[in-house]
Amino acid sequence: MSENNETMANVAAQDIKPASVKSEAKSGLNEVKSSHKRVLVGKVKSNKSDKTIVVSIETQVRHPLYKKYYKKTKTFMAHDESNDCKMGDIVKIKESRPLSARKRWILVEVLERAK
């Protein structure tokens, strides 16, 4: 009796996986290409140039000796194709190929508008 129950459980376990999942995995429909480019969130510091914004990224760094945290700010120039960013907006930028001498980032989205 117990052998019969075990074989039925094994058969039921094998039948759970639908055939469509196997075929999709083989055909590559579920594959998502991930980018190895950095994505940063920061505040727009300037938008005076045409199709360019300057984004300020603020990070907290721990001092190696004194163990105190302090803020470090770095600025990046990013490409804003539609010129829709204003000063003070919180934006998401993504690393890209060099677009000019100092511009290597593109605007992904505006997360929060300035008030």
Domain that holds residue 101: 39-112
**Helix extents (H) in the chain:** 2-15, 19-27
Give the percent of the chain with pLDDT over 90.
69
Q: Is residue 24 part of a domain?
A: no
Residue 45 placed within a domain = yes
- The answer to whether position 107 is within a domain reads yes
Residue 49 sits in a domain whose CATH number is 2.40.50.140
Q: Work out the pLDDT band at 2, boundaries 50, 70, 90.
A: low
Task: Give the DSSP letter of residue 106.
Answer: E
Per residue in 67-86, pLDDT tens?
Answer: 999 999 999 999 999 999 99
Residue 28 has pLDDT above 70, yes or no: no
> pLDDT at position 33, please?
74
Mean pLDDT of the 21-50 span: 77
Can you tell me whether residue 113 is helix, strand or coil?
coil
pLDDT per residue over 52-71, tens digit each?
999 999 999 999 999 999 99
* Overall domain count for the chain: 1
* Within-domain flag for 69: yes
34-37: long-range contacts, CB 8 A cutoff, minimum separation 24: 35/94, 37/94, 37/95, 37/96
Taken in order 37, 42, 54, 52, is the CA torsion positive or negative?
Answer: positive
**Within a domain: residue 87?**
yes
What is the chain's mean pLDDT, rounded? 84
More confident residue, 35 or 85: 85
pLDDT for the residue 23:
47
Q: Which DSSP symbol is given to 64?
A: T
Q: How far apart are CA 50 and CA 79, in angstroms?
A: 9
Which helix (DSSP H) or strand (DSSP E) does residue 73 occupy?
Answer: strand 69-79
On whether residue 20 sits in a domain, the answer given is no
Residue whose structure tokens are 């579920």: 30
Q: What is the pTM of this model?
A: 0.68
Is 95 inside a domain boundary? yes
